[in-house]
Structures are given as structure tokens and as C-alpha cells.
Amino acid sequence: MYKWLLNILIIIFFLSGFSGYSQIDKILKPVEIKPPHPPMPQEPKKESDEQLAAQYFRDREFDKAVVFYEKLFNKKKNQIYYTYYLFCLIELDEFNKAEKLVKSQVRNYPVKLKYIVDLGYVYTEAGEFNKAKKQFEEALKKITTDKSQIIELANAFLIRGQFDYAVATYRKGRQVMRNYPFYIELGDLYRQIRNYSMMIEEYLDYVDYDYSNMQVVQHKLQNVLSDDPDKAVSELLRKSLLRRVQRHPDKTYFSEMLLWLSIQQKDFELAFSQAKAIDRRLSEQGDRIFDIAELSLANQNYDVAIDAFKYILKKGKSNVLYLDAKIGILNARYLKITNTYNYTDNDLLELEKDYISVLDEYGRNASTIQVMQFLGHLQAFYSDKSNEAIELLYEAINIRNASQYSIAECKLELADILLFTGDVWEAKLLYAQVEKAFKNDPIGHLAKFKNARLSFYIGEFDWAKAQLNVLKAATSKLIANDALSLSVLISDNIDMDSSTVALEIYSRADLLLYRNKDDLALATLDSVFELTEWHPIFDEVLFKKAEIKIKQRKYEEAASYLSEIVDNYSYDITADNALFLLAELYEWKFNDKDKAMQLYRQLLTDYPASLYTVEARKRFRRLRGDFPIDEMTP
């Protein structure tokens, strides 16, 4: 081993020459570890003049800041240093020095009229108002046909708080630049100073100047209207548009603007009037009217929707929207019946007859599949014809060229009817099919919710709650809220000993109500009160009884149950719901506006985080008379 080491050393020696000794020494000598040198002390970084000036300015030590800004400005005459330097001088009441500074800028930049404004500003701060006025008027006199100069001057006046001169700048600019009237700039200026009446006039003049700018103006107005809680601006806009429509009926763009505003305010009657006026004036095919009908339908304004669809039907069968309008009328009548309970037996018979007439005329196909769906619902839930409805919907889901979405809607309707007739398991199967086919779609979420609710009906509370918890994150706010409400209902009403007796009785009553067995549902709900002196489900029982009484059009009894919740269960989850529903009854059924206002105000005060606060505030203001409705002839 030593011989091998020696050979290695000899080889290293010959390769490295006579200097090898030192190399060998390095290899064999142990490495000496030396401690690192301590770091050299560094001098603190010196702050620049600009940093010091900014710090003194932030600390409002203007006497110190002005020294640095004067030095910086003399070294580099840029706008930033000038602005801060002038501000410091004004704050220190050094008006002579400020005057000298600004006058030098006026001499050096004669085209920049903003420096003349600054000179007037110095005189204003010094209390020399006549001299200030002279400078401001001098700036106006020097306006040329340079658009950017005019805008810069107006902004200079605005910055210095001279709003009237800013307005005068644009008006003078309008005189010298006849091809650019500054409507939008002046409108924006009025908006900044909150002169909304003049803002509206300038914006509408801009539309009148070139109606291709209408969308730009609508966007600007929408931003203002979104921050208009008292609807004061929207009322000013509505009146101005009405005046222009009446004075200039040939300028359809004002009617279009009024139509747009009516939709923003959800005033569908006025929107329909404007849409008709435009349709007649331009000899349109009814597309605009159809859109209004659909919007009215979505916002539960069924009468306007029906009138709008009828208007399209009057255009004749050759119109491309004729069939859609015919179906639209049926759907509006259907939704009015199913959502308001305000109908007669004759209404049901007439609607069913009209549905069947459409199917006879146009056949049972992809174009009429929604007719089949709604007719099935009507027959099952209102006309005691469940067997006919089931047969019809099985036919609908087998239409080959129908969209998968339409078929899914019919499957949900069929499942609802099967559940209504007591065929729970077939209903579950259909709900599951739709959920699987549309897993990440709102209709899939709806199917999942319906399946969870079915499980609730039959007492499978744990499984139902698990599905509902998933649905809390659903993209559809309505489904998410319904899922949350049902999940909370289950969680809050399982007894501490895990007993579900009261909840089982309630869920059975809920299923009976779903199946239109109202009297049996009421009797079942009453049995909950016989279980114990108190239970957390009592307020839900009272609310469900109120719903049944409303369905039966026994509004006084419904109000009694709702009042009991408001008085005795104000701390519980149903309290704000009950208060809002009670206010609706007084507004719409009892025609007691004062009492309705009182209840809406109570909701706003006691339950500010309620989902009903926005609607309650809107209704309270309407009842108070905040939104007058003017008559107009389109």
C-alpha cells in the first residue's frame, strides 16, 4: 500500500517540475481554517433632496420642504417640482414669490393657458379677487382651436376649484370649434360637480349630435344610475327623455333611450309603450317587442308580457315570431296561474284547451316540447289529470330531434309529477339522470336539489343534508339559497338526543302540501304542537301553515300566522321571511299601504342583512311616492 502511495507522489513530482515540492506540501499539509474577516462598517445611505422634500411635505413642514423644492425646480424645471414648489409657497403665504414663479412660467410657456389660471389662483389665495378674475378671463380670451388646449384649460380651472370657469371654457371651445362641441366633456364635468340635470342634457345632446354615440352615453349614465339610491337622477333622465320624445317623435334614438331606461328601472309598461312606438315608426318585425315580452315574463309582469305577445300575433301568421309569441302567451298565462294563485276554474280550462289547440295545429315536436311540458304540469297539479300528464311527458322525452336540455326539463317535470302521484323511486331515478347528464349545469344542480328535497320528504335527513351542503356552492344563487335554507331547517330541528320525530312530521306535511293535499297537510302540521310545549320547528310550522292559507286564498288567517312569527319568533330564521310576506299581504291583498310601509320599514331596521332588504327598500320608497309615473302618448 505504501509503495503505491510513493508511486503516486513520484508521478506528481515529475509532472509538476521542481515546484512540485510546494504542490506536494499543499496536498499533504492539513487545511488551516481561518476565521472570516468581520464585515467593514457601511456608511448610512444619504437621502436625496427629492426624498427629503417629499418627507417634509408629507409632514406638512412646508418651510423645510420649500427649500428643497426651490432647489430641485431651479435645477430641473419639470412640472412636478413646479407644482409642489407653488403649493408650498401658497401655504407659507409667500404670494410675491409665488407670483414671480408663475409669471416666469407664463412667459416661458405662452401657449400653456393653465399657468394663467395658476396666476389667478395665486391672486385668489392672496385675496386679490379682481386681479384673479382678470387672469381667468384672460385665459378664456386666449382659447384657440386646439382641442387638447381647451381640455387642459378646463381641467386647470377644475383643479383650482373654479367650476364656472371650467364650464365657460368648454362653452367657449364649442364656439371656436364648431366641428367638436365638447358635449361628453361638459357632461362629465357636470357629473363631477353633481349637477345631474345639466349632465343629462349634455349627454343627450351628444346622442342628438351623433346617435352612434348612444351606447357610450348609456354606459356613462348606467354608472351614475347604479349609485342613485333615491332614484333622483333616473327620474330627471326619464322626464328629459319624455320631453324629447314628445317634441321630436321622428328621432327614434330618444325613444330607444327611454326604452333602455325603462328596462333599467323595470318599468315594463313604459318599455312596451316605447317599443311599440319604435316598432311602428320603423316598420319592424316585432323583435324588440318580443324581447320586452320575455323580460316582462322573467320579472313576473305577466300582463305586460301577454299584451306584448298579442301585439306580435296581430302581425299575422307569416311573421317569423308568430309561433313563439303564441307559445309565449300560453306560458305567461301558465306562470300567472302557478305563481299567483289568482285564477278561476274557467282560467284553467281555457288554458288547457289553448295548449291542446296549439299541439293539434303544430304537432308534438321539438318546436312545441315546452308546450307539452307546461300542459303536463297544468294537467297534473291543477286539473287532476295526472295519468294524461305522465303519458304526455313520456312522449315528450322521446322526441328525437329535441335538444337535450329541453328533454331534461321535461324529465324534471315528469319526475315532479311522479312524486306528486306517490311514485317516489321512479322520480328519484329521473332526477338522478338529469343530474348526471348536466353535472356542472344549473339544471343539473336543480335536479340534485329536487332529489335532496325528495329525500327530506321521506325522512332520509342525513343523505339529504349531505347533498344540500354540496349545493351551497352552486352557481345559481336561487338554488344555493334554497339548499342552504333546507339544510339549516334540518340541522336546527334535530333534537339534542338525535330524535327526528318533529322533523319527520313536518317533512310529511311538506310532501302532502306538494301533492296538493292541503287540509291533510294542515292537520299533520297541527300534530307537531301536540308533541311538546316548545320545539325549534314551531316557527317553520307556522310559516308553512301561512303558505297553505295563502294558497287557499285565506289571507286573514295567513296574516295571523305570520304575525305570530314576527311577535314571538323574531330571533328565528323565518322572521324576516314572515315580515316580508306579511308586508306583501297588506300591500297587495288588504290594500293597506300605510301598514305595508310600516312592515317594510321594520324589516329594514330589524333585519338589515336579510335577502329581502333591497326589495323591501324599493317597495317602501314606491309606496312613499318617490317614483311618480307621468302619462305620455307614444
Q: For residue 591, give the CATH number of its domain.
A: 1.25.40.10
Structure-block grid coordinates of residue 13: 513530482
**Based on the domain organization, do 502 and 613 belong to the same domain?**
yes
User: Is this structure's pTM higher than 0.85?
Assistant: no
In a domain, residue 396? The reply is yes
The owner of cell 316605447 is: 274
What is the spatial distance between Cα 329 and Cα 434, in angstroms, rounded to a whole number? 28
**Based on the domain organization, do 408 and 505 belong to the same domain?**
no
Helix (H, G, I), strand (E, B) or coil at 140: helix
Given 386, 414, 430, the domain boundary residue is: 430
Q: What pLDDT does 218 receive? A: 94
In a domain, residue 551? The reply is yes
Whether the predicted pLDDT of 42 surpasses 60: no
Q: What pLDDT does 369 receive? A: 96
Q: Which helix (H) or strand (E) holds 44?
A: none
Mean pLDDT computed over 276-286:
92
| Position 47 confidence tier, pLDDT thresholds 50, 70, 90 | low
In a domain, residue 363? The reply is yes
What is residue 35's DSSP assignment? P
Whether the predicted pLDDT of 630 surpasses 50: no
Q: Which domain holds residue 505?
A: 493-624
Mean pLDDT of the chain: 88
What is the spatial distance between Cα 522 and Cα 17, in angstroms, rounded to a whole number? 113
Whether the predicted pLDDT of 8 surpasses 80: no
Given 430, 454, 477, the domain boundary residue is: 430
Q: How many domains does the chain have?
A: 2
Q: What pLDDT does 344 receive? A: 87
Whether the predicted pLDDT of 297 surpasses 90: yes
Question: By percentage, how much of the chain surpasses pLDDT 90?
Answer: 75
| Position 127 confidence tier, pLDDT thresholds 50, 70, 90 | very high
What is the spatial distance between Cα 366 and Cα 413, in angstroms, rounded to a whole number? 16
Contact 447, 438 (CB under 8 A): yes
**Based on the domain organization, do 504 and 579 belong to the same domain?**
yes
In a domain, residue 463? The reply is no
Given 387, 409, 430, the domain boundary residue is: 430
Structure-block grid coordinates of residue 139: 385665459
Q: What pLDDT does 627 receive? A: 54
**Based on the domain organization, do 506 and 620 belong to the same domain?**
yes
Mean pLDDT computed over 469-485:
84
Contact 610, 597 (CB under 8 A): no
Contact 122, 90 (CB under 8 A): yes
Q: What pLDDT does 265 receive? A: 86
**Based on the domain organization, do 383 and 505 belong to the same domain?**
no
What is the spatial distance between Cα 339 and Cα 74, in angstroms, rounded to a whole number? 77
Whether the predicted pLDDT of 376 surpasses 70: yes
Query: Which has the closest alpha carbon to 526: 514, 553, 544?
Result: 544
Whether the predicted pLDDT of 17 surpasses 50: no
In one letter, which amino acid is 151?
I
CATH number at residue 365: 1.25.40
Query: Which has the closest alpha carbon to 200: 158, 244, 169?
Result: 244
CA distances from 302 to 156, 306, 320, 330 (A): 54, 6, 22, 11
Structure-block grid coordinates of residue 436: 348526471
**H-assigned helices in 341-423:** 345-362, 369-381, 386-396, 404-421
Helix (H, G, I), strand (E, B) or coil at 602: helix
**Based on the domain organization, do 509 and 418 belong to the same domain?**
no
Mean pLDDT computed over 2-20:
36
